[in-house]
Structure 1
Amino acid sequence: MNQFCKLCGGTLNKLSEPIEPEYFHCPVCDLISIDEDTFLDRQEEFNRYSQHKNTLDNPGYVNNFNNFIIISKIDNLKNVKRALDFGCGPGPVLQVLLEKLGYATDIYDPFFYPTQGFLKKRYDLITCTDVLEHLKNPLATLRILEVLLEKGGILAVTTLFHTSAEDFISWWYRKDPTHITFYSQKTFRWLAEHLNLSLEFSDDKSIGVLKKSAS
């Protein structure tokens, strides 16, 4: 395990309670990350994601996205010419919902829609829902997304926030073996300060809306 945080470079502290796999906490940006030696391999990841019932035929899943759109207020954005749903999963439900709002939406997923033509474009809106917790190198990915945003563009993300390192051990969310990186409100403030972004909104639970500087 790297002794330094993969987000901010701070020195990591191992969570004191013995659990498997091992987790490490960064006191600087509040990121919690898993021991890299216990990552699933790519085929194991694919097998897990393939079991997800993330389709338009799943009303609960569709409702979650509709709630995300309303709470994050991305349905009220002006002048969105092009959007990207980054990490859309096997069923690009959010693409359908965004296009109903009139947003021409591209999709990308490293397992299900791996074409990388999106890297040559720029976007007024990027959504990244239930993706950050799966990232092996979150800073590199978020830097790419920041570059892909037009000036004044919006990055809207979801991932459940951890409340403290002390409560983390008993948290159900960590028990999914594809969840390897965990964030908090403090982490999102760090991201906004160190990328060309401002934290425009957070519901304090799972949603963060960041905006790229217009200058």
Structure 2
Amino acid sequence: MENPKYVQIDPKQATAEKIEHILLPARHRDKIGLVHSALVAFNPYLGIVFANTKKKVDEIADGLIQKGLKVGRIHGDLSPRERKRVMKQIKDLEFQYLVATDLAARGIDIQGISHVINYELPTDLDFYIHRVGRTARAGFSGIALTVYEQSDEDALVRLEKMGITFKNIDLKKGEFTQIEERNRRQNRKKKETTGEAKAKSLVSKPKKVKPGYKKKMQYEMDKIKKRENRIQKRNK
């Protein structure tokens, strides 16, 4: 070929490149209070909090209003007239915060969203992509924060398999701090369990038992586990 033309096609990404995906553990804390603290700390141009049901949207919005924030809400129980009024208030910058069901994730164009907060993960994880897609538009950057429970682990793993990379943070006294990966402790436990299993497989009960045989077996197992732990540390 003479003067060939090279075309490079970038791999398809699940979400916009400039979205920062953040995980915040609930850890049995008051979630509405945690979301309020996050919104105040972020101080977004416009932040939207997503929940799965109309009832939960009203609960969150009422809780945030009681804490002094001026909050709008959008869900399926609003009449077209009410929805139009809320959209005008958002456009006129009367609200800095909006609480919504997934109705706002698709089909409604809201400009200027800088922060998306998932009060809870959607049942259909495709809606996570639609939710966070409200921010980081037109070349701007955006932040997507998910407040998660321990029961959300499977869903988070599935999102990671979809190409989402999460940053792990905590919020204490109004300030964000970076913390270790949420599954680091679980992985450590798995490695320890592997060492214990190997020790048990190599140390068996003698056919003829003598006094103190259990203590001797435990001693041998502990030696093997210590050796395995040293190997694990060298391989890190």
TM-score (norm 2): 0.36
Higher relative contact order (CA 8 A, sep 6+): 2
Question: Rg: which structure is higher?
Answer: 2
Considering fraction of residues, name the structure with more helix: 2
Q: Where is the strand percentage greater, Structure 1 or Structure 2?
A: 1
